[in-house]
Amino acid sequence: MSLEPFGVRLRRAMDTRGPLCVGIDPHASLLTAWGLNDDVAGLETFTYTVVEALADRVAVLKPQSAFFERFGSRGIAVLERAVAQAREAGALVLMDAKRGDIGSTMAAYAATYLDKDSPLFSDAVTVSPYLGFGSLRPALDAARISGAGVFVLALTSNPEGAEVQRSTAPDGRSLAQVMLDHIAVENGPQGPDQPLGSVGAVVGATLAEAGVDLGINGPLLAPGMGAQGATAADLPRIFGAAVRNVVPSFSRGVLRHGPSVAALRESAAREAADLAKIVK
């Protein structure tokens, strides 16, 4: 049996817990700052501390797969356990994997993160559409079957992204807008049974302006909050009328307060309180 659609579950989590998303990004520098070794033991302590501190209170936890993959199979084992623990505690898990390929390879990525029988099954996954939006079809179909979500890179927070994302399609739209329009079609119109679509877009909170139509009827993951410079006050300027559907993503700005569970919770609570003043 599939889960309720991801968009339904995300809307409920955002309305009850607030929209805060916290990354689980075990950078070597963060492990060192926590007094941990840059090894699997340090990875375990870091990861499970973040899950213990936040999984029962934030809407979304977003592990960055690369920081676990660098430790090989033992790192992936830590990631598998963290995903399970976070979901058991009530957080939605967004796997930040940014996968993108074609055909059977994309289908294999979809099976990894979006098949309920996979040990890495997550509530949603980030994907890259720049092999063509149609290349994402295996992931979109798998997500629909399982009740999971997909977040498509549209306008990312890194300055290099504009080279591709702001370039112009033959019909005059930016490539970012082309992707956003595809997402809107996938989500369809909102209704009482679909308060939020299950296909989201990644739009950086550090952008000077969006300059695109963000009416995708789906969630908007906004990286770049906190340590990268964006604040809650920036969100209405960038996202306008779509601000209620924004999932602001913090990483180092919250994680640097570890290894204290209490300090991590206090930091997340402060960010959530700031967001509550803006995102209503």
Which residues carry out catalysis?
Answer: 98
Across-strand partners of 221?
202, 247
In angstroms, the Cα distances linking 23 to 45, 171, 176 are 16, 37, 24
How many helices (H) and strands (E) the chain has is answered by 12, 8
User: Which of 129, 178, 144, 113 has the alpha carbon at shortest distance from 7?
Assistant: 144
CA distance 11 to 66: 28
Return the percent helix, strand and coil in the chain, to nearest 5. Answer: 50, 20, 30
Q: Which amino acid is located at 168 in the chain?
A: T
Cβ 220 vs Cβ 246: under 8 Å: yes
CA distance 50 to 48: 5
Backbone angles phi, psi at 198, to 5 degrees: -95, 0
In angstroms, the Cα distances linking 233 to 144, 185, 229, 251, 276 are 34, 30, 11, 18, 11
Q: State both tokens at 232.
A: 């809650």
Helix axes 137-146, 103-114, angle to 10 degrees: 30
